[in-house]
Amino acid sequence: MRFYQVGISVLVTGVLMGCQAGQIATAGDSKPTWAGRTETESSPVRSQKPDEPAPVAVRRTVFEVVNAPFPPLKDAEVTVKIRAHVNGVPVFDDEVRELIYPTLLSLPPSLSDAERSSKQSEIWRDGLLQIIDRELLLQDAFTRLSKNGQQYLEKLKAAASKEFDRTIRGMKSRSGAKTDEEFAELLRQQGQSMDGIRRQFERNFMAREYVRSSIFPKVERGSGHQQILEYYQEHPGEFQAVDRVKWQDIFIDAARFPSRNEARAFAEQLASRARTGEDFSLMAKFDNGDSSYRNGEGFGAKRGEIKPPEAEHILFQMKDGQIGPVIEIPTGFHIIKLIKREYEGLIPLDEKTQAEIRKKLQNMVVDRETKRLVAELKRNATFEIEPSP
């Protein structure tokens, strides 16, 4: 079960924290106050329970450090505490917990108590600030779209729900859970819940898509052909190919034949059939080795990795689609086919490479504009970081 626990932690971390890239919005015209308070008022600090975070001073702005140690989750614990307010809208304690819990699990056990406490506080702070940024964007989106973009807003919510359903199916499959109940139990063991993950994912998705739609012209201008060419020329180290081969292999075990000569003759017959155009993949049914477990793919791709070693020199001399000579080893015979050879050197600026660069440039524009516009929203917003009860 521990295998499942580690696996699901990685999956949930990717879903919850990976969706934060690319979020922007523009500032509103007014500066609302929090829950009717003025900016000079503060919340009373109540007595602290031993197993709860240490109290922190009320913060007036998220640019200040939020220092709150992370308490371990307890079975059946239900948290409804408020950790912060963003323009009067609460951010609940359990939202932060569910976001950061997988990251906390990944902390190395070798950390000292002081190091662990410091890391926990840092992770908690970063998680809280992530949620605050996201909520600012969503508030801006809901305010703007509720007036004359309600139809777009509904489509955005529907798209977020659909994307979550698709993603969660993949998570369930990779976790090894066989039923929804088993998957829910794995989540619970990691301090997660399906409702909590759905909320985090959908709100992250909506914030990201709102950002992208807001800055679409800038994204397009920043990822045109000229920008792609300049990035390719200025970053040659990112586009270096490694000398490698993709190949197929059929092994004929000599021990399965009355004599070694008969095994060799059968291997030569298969090679001849492959050279005349017979589907090599279908011929893999004759394989007596382990390539059949890899859909006929040979073992290894780069020099020094290929097995059997006798095939390496031959493969790197072949052309794409070519059937090699039968390779004899002590236990039998290999029939090989080169699917594709990749040569060491600069990757050409083909359509695939251009698409990769375009995506990278677009993400860079989104990230830059997100930081700029979120900072603008922060200058026109009111924040309160609640002290622990």
Q: How many other CB atoms sit within 10 Å of the CB of residue 330?
A: 6
**Which conformational region is residue 321 in: left (phi greater than 0), alpha (psi within -120 to 50 degrees), or beta?**
left
Statement: the pTM of the whole predicted model exceeds 0.75: no
Question: With contact defined as beta carbons under 8 Å apart, do 33 and 383 qualify?
Answer: no
Cα angle: 233, vertex 341, 272; to 5 degrees: 165
pLDDT for 332 equals: 96
Tell me, what DSSP letter sits at residue 323?
Answer: B
Residue with tokens 């012209």: 217
Bridge partners of residue 240, in order along the sequence? 346
**Which conformational region is residue 49 in: left (phi greater than 0), alpha (psi within -120 to 50 degrees), or beta?**
beta
Tokens matching residue 269: 């017959």
The domains of the chain, with CATH numbers, are 2-214+363-385 (no CATH), 243-343 (3.10.50.40)
Max distance between CA atoms of the chain, in angstroms, equals 94
pLDDT for 275 equals: 95
pLDDT for 57 equals: 35
Interatomic CA distance for residues 363 and 138, integer angstroms: 20
Q: How many other CB atoms sit within 10 Å of the CB of residue 283?
A: 18
Question: With contact defined as beta carbons under 8 Å apart, do 138 and 207 qualify?
Answer: yes
Digits of tens for pLDDT over the chain (389 positions)? 333 333 444 344 444 444 443 333 333 333 333 333 333 333 333 333 334 444 333 333 322 323 334 444 444 444 468 888 889 888 888 888 888 887 888 888 899 999 998 998 899 889 899 999 999 999 988 888 777 777 888 888 889 899 988 888 888 888 888 888 888 888 887 767 888 888 888 888 888 888 888 888 888 888 889 999 999 999 999 999 889 999 999 999 999 999 999 999 999 999 999 999 999 988 988 999 988 788 889 999 999 999 999 999 999 999 999 999 999 999 999 999 999 999 899 999 999 999 999 999 988 888 888 888 899 899 888 888 765 43
pLDDT for 216 equals: 81
Cα 249 to Cα 56, 264, 275, 335: the distances in Å are 64, 15, 14, 6
Interatomic CA distance for residues 59 and 84, integer angstroms: 9
How do residues 112-131 score in pLDDT, each as one tens digit?
999 998 998 899 889 899 99
Residue with tokens 């059968």: 266
Contacts of 213 (CB under 8 A, 6+ apart): none
Through-space distance between the first and last CA atoms of the chain, rounded to whole angstroms: 35
pLDDT for 188 equals: 80
Bridge partners of residue 337, in order along the sequence? 248, 323
